[in-house]
Structure 1
């Protein structure tokens, strides 16, 4: 990605008059070598593009597709189990499940202690298959510059990073210990919950 165009001299002069910093900081993150920045950028490309396409063509977004995909693998999963499998928070799961139930793509069956087991309907399975075709083609395009060995290595490394998620969250808990936390359920990036 190309860096932003430098602002015109007049804008820099006006910013300096207002006491704003106009020079690059001495210590910054190199976004071309900082893995979280690269992963975040790639995630945004996937989520926003995918959501635009899926919403326009089928009336469902990326989160609904994730739920359909998970239920294709785990019929009868509860919303809580979907949160764990997909790494999304309860509010995102609830909103997506409700939209899919309302559209008759998912049905619910009562379980023990008030739990609800979720299953695809025939219409949900058909939608799953249509969306899977799009998802697989998007990944094929995204990975076409990688060899099969590189794709395998990339996935291995990503799984290895995910194995460190608990360590990262422990560090975050230590940083925030004793500090009152605001309710961030609505503003968490991509609905990712704290573990």
Structure 2
């Protein structure tokens, strides 16, 4: 059995080591969201808008119901976010061809430009962190993140990842 950096055994972590990991996640998340938050604040948008834009970009034509499942928010909450994005010309909602009750969501050119700006900021931060940590740490980090996901969320994540879009 080999010790991980810092003497942390992969088979046993103390409560203190786990607390440090939890705090690192909190602070890393703050860093990860800081750049997009600054961009969105000037537009009176928040993280819910960012998440919607991100996943509409990942799966153009996704339905409102699918977005509800991915984001894990209430229909009322998502409707508020989508209404704003549609009114501001960032998202287009089209009636389904086979099921007229469905609404398919697409980013407009302006929505794509905003998504690129937000993602570029986060990619730059991730790229820098990944380069500093190295390929083995990147693979380990992904394994830890996936292991923290509930089974249903991991399946959704894998499906999105496997879609290649």
Are 1:31 and 1:38, in contact at CA under 8 Å, matched by a contact in 2? no
Cα distance in 2 between the residues matched to 1:31 and 1:83: 36
Are 1:54 and 1:61, in contact at CA under 8 Å, matched by a contact in 2? no
TM-score by length of 2: 0.66
Q: 1:100 aligns with which of 69, 75, 85?
A: 85
Deviation string 1:44-94 (CA, Å, 9 cap, x unpaired) is 4434x2453122455533222221221112111122211222344434422
Q: 2:125 aligns with which of 130, 138, 146?
A: 138
Instruction: Mark the CA change 1:45 to 1:131 in structure 2 (over 3 Å): closer, same or farther.
Output: closer
Aligned length: 137
| CA-based RMSD | 2.8
Q: Which has the higher helix share?
A: 2
Any stretches of 5+ residues in structure 1 without a counterpart? 1-28, 167-195
TM-score by length of 1: 0.57
Cα distance in 1 between the residues matched to 2:69 and 2:16: 30
Any stretches of 5+ residues in structure 2 without a counterpart? 1-13, 154-165
Name the counterpart of 1:155: 142
